[in-house]
Amino acid sequence: MAAYSLSQLAEEDVRRLYRYGIEKFGLIQADSYFDGLFARFDAIAESPALYPKVDHIRPGYRRSVYGVHSIYYRAAGTAVEIMRVLGREDPDTLM
């Protein structure tokens, strides 16, 4: 299995969306969404070129949409770094 890392901002995004999920939808649904999100991180690490480039947002970045969130990441060689996990936020102001 390929590896990935989360930037500090991505870690904060994941914690924030998990807390929101618990408050809004309950623990079971939040856990399910959280598990799926991390499964998507694994899929990104396995095939980073599968998802489209978003150079108009940040050069070298790609985006994968999971549920209502966009996962922004960059890949260099075998290294994949998840940079942000954003919902309706404007990525230009948050990256």
Return the CATH number at 19. Answer: 3.30.2310.20
92 occurs within a structural domain: no
93 occurs within a structural domain: no
CB contact at 8 A, 54 and 62: yes
**Residue 69 CA: distances (Å) to CA of 1, 12, 36, 45, 76:** 24, 14, 12, 17, 23
Q: How far apart are the first and last CA of the chain?
A: 28
What are the pLDDT tens digits along the chain (95 aa)? 579 999 999 999 999 999 999 999 999 999 999 999 999 999 999 999 999 999 998 999 999 999 999 999 999 878 899 999 998 765 555 55
Q: How many domains does the chain have?
A: 1
| Phi/psi at 67 (5° precision) | 60, -125
Domain encompassing residue 65: 5-86
Helices (H), the chain: 8-25, 27-46, 91-94
Token output for 25 = 């939808």
